[in-house]
Homo-oligomer: A and B are copies of this chain.
Amino acid sequence: MNDPPDPDPPHVPGLRPIRMKDIAEQLGLSQTTVSHVLTGKHAKFRISAATVERVWALAQKLGYRTNAMAQAFREQKSYAISLAVEDLSNPFWAGIAVGAEREAELHGYTLVVSHLAGNTGRLRRALQLVHESRVDGLIVSPISGGDCDLIAAHEQGLPFVQIDRAVPDLDVACVRTDHAAGSVLALRHLLRHEDRSLVYIGGPLDIATYRHRLDGFQAELTRSGVAAAAIEELKEATPEAAEARMVELLQRLRGPLAVYAANFCSTVGTLRGIRAAGLSVPDEIDVVGFDDILMADLLRYPVATVDQDVGGIGREAVRLLLQRLAGAEVAREVLLPPRLTARTSDVPRSEGRARARRARRADGSPDPSRQSRSGGPGKNKKSN
């Protein structure tokens, strides 16, 4: 329509992005030369400094942006990776996403997220993204029922890495917390008091995660030459189950206890059971939980927790995936060390205050304090 009356469009805002061709034409150069300059290969092609300068200047003036779609098409690389997790709204997975996004960005990659919600259909769609080259590779946390899909995907050579959980007998890298090491931390912490009966309470042992935690606990017991008063396996990892079991346990067991509640829900249930029994933590019963996730801050229970390096899981998963995309052989398993966070009193101070800050809402207001804790990308705001 109105093409002829528009022979010199300097920078009309939303209309038609600038292409290399545009720059070339206005400069009386070939598009090739512009490409050489703009992709930083002017040295290699010995473009004259003057030309380089002119191209740069005009590109700047016109607001040239490389067209990522054309580039992706040309190179057959989308520069995007996908993260498919069970439940993005869960702080555990969200933390992984944060770490992954950070690392991906560092390498010029974009992070696409998929919320699987236990749905194998969604898992298949996530795998599709790779097949369709919408993303170059996938980071996935295996969900129940999806094992065969992942096995098939691997046979087709589809590039992915697993996180948190590994499909049995599948030769694909997995990044997760070293749960056994976490149990070692927990036990050593509990062993700082003498003469306490040791209790382990955790989730069902057919789940590999819980198996690892108990194994680590028992191995360290052996090494320490001590015995546990009770090993409690819950049939269901819920606060209710843990609370019930704890109440029951407190009737059986005498004397001061040291409890390792080996997962989040067990921790909550354990604390409730203890409170219901009218006992105090940590004076009468000491508790170490697993996974922090805001809880300790909000409840202000003086419990120590074994915290997973969720950001690290995301970060390492991305690194592994990118290595694999680059054709390198990668580790079969990457274990990240957890850390133990001790909390001393009911009154938040120092570290406690830092944690409180993480739960605070900013909502547009400047955040006065902003320094990383332990390298993790886990700064939080906005909780109202």
A interface residues with partner B (beta carbon < 8 Å):
13-15, 17, 65-70, 72-73, 76, 78-80, 86-95, 97-98, 101-102, 105, 110-115, 117-118, 125, 128-129, 131-135, 142-145, 155-158, 164-165, 203-204, 206-210, 237-240, 263-265, 268, 272, 290-291, 293-295, 298-300, 308, 310, 348, 353, 356-357, 359-367, 370, 377-384
Report the Cα distance A384→B268, complex, angstroms.
10
- Given A112-B110, A115-B102, check contact A365 B144 (CB 8 Å): yes
Q: Do A263 and B113 touch (CB < 8 A)?
A: no
Specify which chain B residues have a CB less than 8 angstroms from the CB of A133 in the assembled complex.
Answer: 17, 65, 67-69
Closest to A155 in B: B13
Other-chain residue from B92, B135, B265, B361 in contact with A263 (beta carbon distance below 8 A): B361
Other-chain residue from B102, B132, B298 in contact with A67 (beta carbon distance below 8 A): B132
Report the Cα distance A115→B379, complex, angstroms.
10
16 contacts between A and B (CB under 8 A): A17-B133, A65-B128, A65-B131, A69-B134, A80-B134, A87-B379, A89-B91, A91-B91, A105-B125, A110-B129, A111-B112, A112-B113, A117-B377, A210-B363, A239-B360, A240-B356
Copies of the chain in the assembly? 2
Q: Do A157 and B380 touch (CB < 8 A)?
A: no
Report the Cα distance A348→B266, complex, angstroms.
16
Q: Do A204 and B365 touch (CB < 8 A)?
A: yes
Other-chain residue from B118, B294, B381 in contact with A118 (beta carbon distance below 8 A): B381
Report the Cα distance A239→B347, complex, angstroms.
12
Specify which chain B residues have a CB less than 8 angstroms from the CB of A210 in the assembled complex.
Answer: 363
Specify which chain B residues have a CB less than 8 angstroms from the CB of A134 in the assembled complex.
Answer: 68-69, 79-80, 110
Q: Do B361 and A237 touch (CB < 8 A)?
A: yes
Specify which chain B residues have a CB less than 8 angstroms from the CB of A293 in the assembled complex.
Answer: 383-384
Specify which chain B residues have a CB less than 8 angstroms from the CB of A237 in the assembled complex.
Answer: 360-361, 363, 384
Specify which chain B residues have a CB less than 8 angstroms from the CB of A142 in the assembled complex.
Answer: 364
Q: Do B87 and A380 touch (CB < 8 A)?
A: yes
